[in-house]
Structure 1
Amino acid sequence: MPVHRPGSARRTLSALIGILAALLTAAFVLPGPAFADQGSSKAIPHPEDDWAGSQILKHEGGSMSGGEPPGLLATVEGVDVSSHQGNVAWSTLWSSGVRFAYVKATEGTSYTNPYFSQQYTGSYNVGMIRGAYHFALPDNSSGAAQANYFVDHGGGWSKDGKTLPGALDMEYNPYGATCYGKSANAMVSWIKDFTGTYKSRTGRDPVIYTSTSWWKSCTGNSAAFGGINPLWIPRYGSSVGELPAGWGFHTIWQYTSTGPTVGDHDKFNGAMDRLTALATG
């Protein structure tokens, strides 16, 4: 005659309850995407169409003559490029007097410029001082995440006298709301997150590329960066005009998007020895 064992019955009942609980839990689990990592970056629809100034002409207009502004003293000619230009004729640019270049390296935390090596190394090989820039997407991921991605994918700095500090491109959102859905305070915090992380990784304060109009709209015209970060300002006309709060002078002026050989041309605000000093740190 079988012996009744109370402990065995309890274990069987406990196991049945566990199975039932697991089945009920599985029935109410939502599909994976609903639990996607909220810290992960979003997809970037068309990063090849985003470059320094790609949104400036659309939103602010400006001269399309492509001519150099008159009456400037002690300036150095430069260009900025991205995958939009493809392989660049660096020897032609050097022969025309171009002496420095900024090259788009990254956007968000998932895009790298497929022409970066040809552009970054090619400009260096003909004798130019060059640097890299990052197209910011503040609603995509944190400032620190984007700074780290930038440094890890070409945006670093070396004290060789030929490498400019990396630049942070802050301009109109090519994918939606002008200020990326952020308040002025939140935008300033995001920029500090990026610039602080970049400084900790490289030892240099990055250049900030921005227009006065965008800066006023999206940071409340913050003066927090003017005494720290060099300013690279786009304005397609005969003068730089009003600067964002905090900056008493600009370091680089993107004066046209229709220049020869490469559309985007820039003027460094100083003589060649001062450009070398910026590179050397």
Structure 2
Amino acid sequence: MPHRAPVLRTSAGLLRRTAVVAATGALLLGTAGLAPAAQAAPTPAGFHPERDFAGSTVAAHEGRSAEAPLTSLAVTQTLGNDVSSWQGNVNWAAAKANGARFSYVKATEGTSYTNPYFAQQYNGSYNAGLIRGAYHFALPNTSSGSTQATWFVNHGGGWSADGKTLPPALDIEYNPYGATCYGLSQSAMVSWIRSFSDTVRSRTGRYPAIYTTTNWWQQCTGNNASFAATNPLWLARYASTPGTLPAGWTYQTIWQFADSGVLPGDQNYFNGAYDRLQALAKG
């Protein structure tokens, strides 16, 4: 986009060793339910979180159209963007002047990475008058959905009913490190997403929006329709229309329609007028 011992003899030492064993057991429990291939290291080989962001894999797998998005969509569209460490420090006043009304900011990836520019981007967009939200880049083969959701919420993925904070979001897309579906079966992927979603809901009071593409969703979840009743859809498709949606959803809440444009980072439309965007933020 132009866009890291001596033998324990004392009772205290025995307690320390017991604690280590207990902690190890807790880590193993954290991967329960994942396929054997998914019980991997906390980060994949060649880990490059600074290059992973909402849509970083989309164009390579699905391409992009040169056609501009249609302006005659069913309802008024509200322009926004999404950013990550790739953009560095963002000039939010300029973004707002160019039409941005909301922004999603990458907060975390896996269970070890936090965006070093998160504070500037998340607080800066808010201070410039944008409605902002945080998202997590999922690595479903490295730890459980609940574990990653906890890392996310603890490192910026919160929500408050202030009318200026969008629901947390889960970015689940093509694997930048290997197999498209991260080595998970369709049922295991659905379970992972459900675990992430339920944990975010229990921690923040909001179900997360789900960022994905229709093609990925069909391939990796079997086009599961069970999330549409609770989770807003943030659809990625670089074309003139949103196209076919994943099963269950009858409309997209947000459409990432291009990976470059007048705003920093990716270009998005909220599917409604500004007052509906405010309603989403208020929950």
TM-score range, shorter chain: 0.7 to 0.9
Aligned equivalent of 2:261: 259
Equivalent in 124, 127, 132 of residue 126 of structure 2: 124
Helix, strand or coil for the counterpart of 2:216? helix
The structure, 1 or 2, with the larger RCO (C-alpha pairs under 8 Å, 6+ apart) is 2
* Cα distance in 2, alignment partners of residues 272 and 115 from structure 1: 27
Unaligned 5+ segments in structure 1 are: 1-34
Contact 1:75 1:269 in 2 (8 A): yes
* Cα distance in 1, alignment partners of residues 71 and 161 from structure 2: 34
Aligned equivalent of 2:117: 115
When Rg is computed on C-alpha atoms for both structures, the one with the higher figure is 1
Report whether the alignment pairs 1:86 with 2:88. Answer: yes
Percent identity over paired residues: 61
Helix, strand or coil for the counterpart of 1:78? strand
Deviation string 1:145-202 (CA, Å, 9 cap, x unpaired) is: 0000000000000111100010000100000100000000000000000000000001
Cα deviation for residue 71 of structure 1 reads 1.8
Equivalent positions of 1:1-281 (< 5 A) are 38=28, 39=30, 42-44=42-44, 45-64=47-66, 67-72=68-73, 73-281=75-283
Cα deviation for residue 69 of structure 1 reads 3.2
Helix, strand or coil for the counterpart of 1:154? coil
Contact 1:105 1:132 in 2 (8 A): yes
* Cα distance in 1, alignment partners of residues 76 and 223 from structure 2: 29
* Cα distance in 1, alignment partners of residues 70 and 96 from structure 2: 20
Cα deviation for residue 68 of structure 1 reads 4.4
Structure-2-length-normalised TM-score: 0.84
Greater alpha carbon shift after TM alignment, 257-266 vs 175-184: 257-266
Contact 2:51 2:86 in 1 (8 A): yes
Unaligned 5+ segments in structure 2 are: 1-23, 32-40
Helix, strand or coil for the counterpart of 1:176? coil
* Cα distance in 2, alignment partners of residues 125 and 221 from structure 1: 39
Deviation string 1:226-254 (CA, Å, 9 cap, x unpaired) is: 11100000111110000000101110000
* Cα distance in 2, alignment partners of residues 261 and 201 from structure 1: 32
* Cα distance in 1, alignment partners of residues 120 and 70 from structure 2: 29
* Cα distance in 2, alignment partners of residues 124 and 163 from structure 1: 8
* Cα distance in 2, alignment partners of residues 220 and 74 from structure 1: 32
How many pairs were matched up? 246
Aligned-pair RMSD on alpha carbons?
Answer: 1.5
